Amino acid sequence: MREVVLTGVKPTGMPHIGNYFGAIKPAIDLAQKGQGEGWLFIADYHSLISLHRPQELNQMIYEVAASWLACGLDPEKTVIYRQSDIPELMELNWILSCLCPKGLMNRAHAYKAKVQENKEHGREDLDFGVNMGLYNYPVLMSADILMFNATHVPVGADQLQHLEIARDLAEKFNNTFEEFFVLPQAVLSEKTKIIPGIDGRKMSKSYGNHLPLFEDAKSLRKKVMKIVTDSSAPEEPKDPDHSLLFDMYRFVATPEEVKAMEKKYKEGIGWGYVKQDLFDALERLIQPMREKYQEFMNNKDQMDRILSEGAAKARPRASENLRKIRKAIGLSR
């Protein structure tokens, strides 16, 4: 079976360093090293669950496209397209909804988290703030994956349940009608679990502890210098295994640099020097990508062309698969 690597990215603004190491780089590497196909979609329909500001959504779509292209995604090797340019997804979404038990959606993480939040706030209506987009989110994600019979889907640990739901719905369809859908496999990146933010928690925009990937050098350095450290004196030996700065440094420095920094830790080094070395390693990585990002953001016509070409590649596959699906369920001969 031909390998199909598929990844979706919801437009939420400029990605951060954690997104790069936890999702962007692993997905690009997997697509480029594989012998099969690479697919990346911008999940703009998913954004409508919570984002209802048209201009902001439109800008974020370009930011996502520019980010992935600047990080090395090759549109000749990976099909990149907007989710909303593939209308066949909406029909498959309905078909899968008609096979999906309500109880499966009741157990979905995003819905359960919202219900728990309402409980904690003492709200009588436990579904307060829940729209059907949020509730049915895993079904649309399943349609995104199954439409192209993805064999491998890079996901973080927080998205693993959604992939399991996609597998459940694929099996339900195969058992109810005929064997059509491939059961996709999760490709988990261990790094997604341990990339720290500037306060020691997992790097996240919601925590406000992230390092934006393409922020200008001056602002980036200012954020690095705010990373939390202890009050130990410069000459005191330090434990690299229990250091937020060292945890971050190992992601961006070379193996030789990491080894040298470990030696400096054990001999004693001031936190200011460590932060400067971390910034230098970050800037060395980011600066070339930042330039490409700005070039793409200044040329949206080029991105429109790339995304349109991607949709032109994706739609015939989606249309043919939907034709077979409709035949399997009895809607056409």
Active site residue ranges: 119, 202, 205
User: Of 127, 117, 126, 192, whose CA–CA distance to 159 is shortest?
Assistant: 192
- Residue 89's closest CA among 54, 124, 41? 41
Residue whose C-alpha is closest to residue 237's, from 262, 265, 260 = 265
Give residues with Cβ within 8 angstroms of 49, minimum separation 6: 131, 133, 134, 137
User: How many whole angstroms separate alpha carbon 248 and alpha carbon 246?
Assistant: 5
Kindly give the pairing relationship between strand 37-42 and strand 78-82. Answer: parallel
* Residue 137, token pair as written in the block: 């989110």
Distance CA 5, CA 150 (A): 6
Q: How far apart are CA 75 and CA 240, in angstroms?
A: 40
Q: Which of 281, 218, 227, 271 is nearest to 249 (CA)?
A: 281
- Residue 53: how many other CB atoms lie within 10 Å: 10
Tokens of 298: 């200044």
Q: Structure tokens of 115? A: 């219900």
Distance CA 144, CA 147 (A): 6
- Cα–Cα distance for residue pair 298/66, rounded to 1 Å: 10
Whether residue 35 contacts residue 77, with contact meaning beta carbons closer than 8 Å, is answered with no
